Chains A and B, each alone.
Chain A
């Protein structure tokens, strides 16, 4: 196709040698930078297969080099993704520098792979005391997880950084497992996809562990939506916490006005639907990095629930 385009460009440049069309093909096939493609061909006497192999090997090393070089740059954009089933849930945050990159399908594939890896990790044999096993993973631990093909997430990340030239960070993840059969897990992201599934990615995400009797309609997803929309900082304890003076500033989940029906508090909704909240976690993309940035106007942080 490129050849036809070249021939039709009578005003444009003329591609002379056969080498340059090899270069074009290699570049098109691999997507590596043009300069590197050219170098690869030169080093391997225009053997495109050898050049490609070399490029793939180099990509990993160059990815690491680029990742190191860009590591200091702030990465506040990106996505938060969630994957869950009845008794397992994974919540992952992956950052990059610009939201252009966050919209790119390579980025979206990477966060999906990372979330799947975390979801698998949640199926661990480890079990903590209590109704839910919660594992909080930091950047390093996340990086060590293996994706479907066997490669470590950190390696895939380095390759990605090499290709987009932007800093990217596997920021954090939460992997939850219900320890008893009566405990349920639900997840939600905003924006939510138009077709409901077990995986979604957005700017905000939440996981919820709860108990609900089967005779009532499941409201786990709706409660997650409330948590995403209203950002409570803790569940709240009737004995020790009092409602805030101004309902707009309420930070305890149980005292907040229910997002989907403000005429009730969350507490009332829980009672009506026979729901007991065990724990929840909310991620807002960029909040961790932003909180540690000097001189930036700080907005109230959502505290992360950690493993007991």
Chain B
């Protein structure tokens, strides 16, 4: 069967500034928060960040959203080269849990060590976590350099290089910057003050390579919908997902008269889980409410976005009425080209309904497209199937995954989980019966625990490493997870998951 597409692979120039997720790691008293505040202070002078004070960063922990508890403050700033999403790493289990659920992620880490103490016993645990979660790029900021002499500074540097090498990092090439975050925060211009921060930012810009969006992987599209076009054939519709990246921007539509709904939190949780980094809010039906209400909705939304780790301050919010927009006249099109790309995409979709833009010359990852499949009957296709380039994906019903079980307080289970636990797994556009088995050495998993488990699905599906999913009991999310490895399919006798033999019964 030939695939005839209205879209082709494109050479894309991503115009937006590159993005990097970075975080601080280190002992509680060595100055991570001061450093973070100092970075925003230095950059705020250049106009590329908003200064966020020590207190604001410090008070952030224990944000409890209905869903996963997010124990970290998120700060955003930009250098000339890149935009950074900066977070702190206060706990091991917290970080793993946030990483599994997609709430936070670090591509690089700044290890903060105070020069008067030097590395602490638990610095090894910090590095162990970094290694465990696959952080490839570490930089070291040797803080409080102003209260010790050069000899000590040299010794700390040597110790750190040795320790980094112990953990498989290249101790020789890791950038180490000495300075005093406190001086920088107090706008001191001496060597250890603000200049040390600029040196650190330069080092990050140069040392951490940009994460490339995967736009060259084979075509991959989960099918949302299918219909017949008379005289043409079956058209399947979905959103392009190439490689491991999906949508990287989403428009959250909230009606002004209702404001955010209880399930808006679930929408944001999903956005976080699938790795959407950019959210814009379109406050719809603005014409039927007054300004006071609009302001309230905006404030609520900004707060809620911050709860979920987005920068509630910088998220663009547009108020309007979509209904009125569909009456847009052709000569107004001239205006839309100056809008940010995601808005343009949204409007383009709206306009497509009126055949103003009929076919897409190119489709990028994140675009919603229709694909004509000649020779395929409508009833052969259903939601949850995947359309991909020939021979590029494999089906399997058996995977390894890292899973986090929500606590009771987060809306999860009360009782522990054992092997052979079977419930519904939700991922992307589909859901399926799924059985979880624990490693033979693990007795049980309690709500609040995270760990590696084996998944057995009722039928073979396509799941890629890094793909996120949730487990639901009676439509209530009890666990969130991320696939780590595809295993060979395993036999499900008579279609009954309970009869699967995972580990030989003793």
Which A residues contact B (CB, under 8 angstroms)? 2, 5-6, 8-9, 11-13, 15, 17, 19-20, 23-24, 27, 31, 33-35, 38, 77, 97-101, 103-104, 106, 163-166, 190-192, 194, 203-204, 225, 228-230, 248, 259, 296-297, 299
Q: Is B402's beta carbon under 8 Å from chain A?
A: no
B444→A225 contact, CB < 8 A: yes
With A20-B151, A31-B121, A225-B444: A99-B115 Cβ-Cβ less than 8 Å = no
The answer for the CA separation of A208 and B138 in the assembled complex, in Å, is: 47
A13 to B151, CA, bound (A): 10
The reply to whether A20 and B155 form a contact with Cβ atoms under 8 Å apart is yes
Q: Is the Cβ of A164 less than 8 Å from the Cβ of B154? A: no
Q: With contacts A194-B441, A229-B416, A259-B415 known, is A24 near B117, CB below 8 A? A: no
Measured in the bound complex, the distance between the Cα atoms of B415 and A259 in whole Å is 8
Complex alpha-carbon distance, A98 and B155, angstroms: 26
In the bound complex, do residue B172 and residue A165 qualify as a contact, i.e. CB atoms below 8 Å apart? no
Residues facing A in B418-476 (CB within 8 A) are 441-444, 446, 449
B443/A190 in contact, CB under 8 A? yes
Q: For window 62-120 of chain B, which residues contact chain A by CB distance below 8 Å?
A: 62, 64, 90-94, 115-118, 120
Count of chain B residues near A, Cβ 8 A: 46
Q: Interface of B with A (CB < 8 Å)?
A: 27-29, 62, 64, 90-94, 115-118, 120-122, 124-126, 128-129, 148, 151-159, 161-162, 172, 408-409, 414-416, 441-444, 446, 449
CA distance A79 to B409 in the complex (A): 21
Write out the residue numbers on chain B whose beta carbons fall within 8 Å of the beta carbon of A24. Answer: 155, 158-159
Instruction: Write the chain A residue with the least CB distance to B447.
Output: A229
Given contact pairs A100-B129, A299-B409, a sample of 15 additional A-B residue pairs in the complex whose CB atoms are under 8 Å apart:
A8-B172, A12-B158, A12-B161, A13-B157, A15-B154, A15-B158, A17-B151, A33-B117, A33-B118, A35-B152, A164-B120, A165-B29, A165-B117, A191-B442, A229-B415
CA distance A104 to B126 in the complex (A): 10
> In the complex, which residues of chain A have a beta carbon less than 8 angstroms from the beta carbon of B128?
103
Q: How far is the CB of B112 from chain A (nearest CB, A)?
A: 13
Q: Which of B93, B172, B449 contacts A99 (CB 8 A)?
A: B93
Q: Is the CB of A27 within 8 A of B125?
A: no
Q: How far is the CB of B294 from chain A (nearest CB, A)?
A: 32
Cβ-defined contact, A35 with B121, below 8 A: no
What are 18 A-to-B residue pairs whose CB atoms are below 8 Å?
Answer: A31-B121, A35-B117, A35-B152, A97-B28, A99-B91, A99-B92, A100-B126, A101-B125, A104-B124, A163-B120, A165-B29, A166-B27, A192-B443, A203-B446, A230-B416, A296-B62, A297-B409, A299-B409
- Nearest residue (CB) in B for A1 is B162
- A34 pairs with B90, CB closer than 8 A: no
Contacts of A166 in B (CB 8 A): 27-28, 122
Which B-chain residue is minimally distant from A231 (CB atoms)? B414
Residues on A with beta carbons closer than 8 Å to the beta carbon of B117: 33-35, 165
Contact B161 A5 (CB under 8 A): yes
CB atoms of A248 and B118 under 8 A apart? no
Interface pair B443/A100, CB less than 8 Å apart: no
- By the criterion CB–CB under 8 Å, are A98 and B408 in contact? no
Partner of B121, one of A19, A20, A104, A296: A104
Q: Are B118 and A27 in contact (CB under 8 A)?
A: yes
Q: How far is the CA of A194 from the CA of B93 in the complex (A)?
A: 20
- Tell me the minimal C-beta distance from A27 to chain B in angstroms: 7
Is A2 within 8 A of B152, CB to CB? Answer: no
Q: Is the CB of A38 within 8 A of B446?
A: no
From A9, A33, A248, B172 is in contact (CB under 8 Å) with A9
Q: Which residues of A contact B442 (CB under 8 A)?
A: 191
Q: Nearest chain B CB to A261's CB is how many angstroms away?
A: 10
**Is B92 a contact of A163 with CB atoms below 8 Å?**
no
Residues of B within 8 A of A31 (CB): 121
Among residues of B, the one whose C-beta sits closest to the C-beta of A6 is B158
- Report the minimal beta-carbon distance from A207 to chain B, rounded to whole angstroms: 17
Give the residues in chain B near A8, CB-CB below 8 Å: 172
Once the chains bind, are B122 and A101 in contact (CB under 8 Å)?
Answer: yes
B152 A38 Cβ-Cβ under 8 A:
yes
Q: Is the CB of A34 within 8 A of B118?
A: yes
Is B121 within 8 A of A98, CB to CB?
Answer: no
Residues of A close to B156: CB separation below 8 A? 34
Complex Cα gap A41–B153 (Å)? 17
Knowing A27-B118, A35-B148, A38-B152 are in contact, say whether A100-B158 is a contact too (CB < 8 A).
no
State A34–B150 Cα separation when bound (angstroms): 12
**A contact residues around B29 at 8 Å (CB):** 165
Q: Which residues of A contact B62 (CB under 8 A)?
A: 296
A248 touches B161 (CB 8 A): no
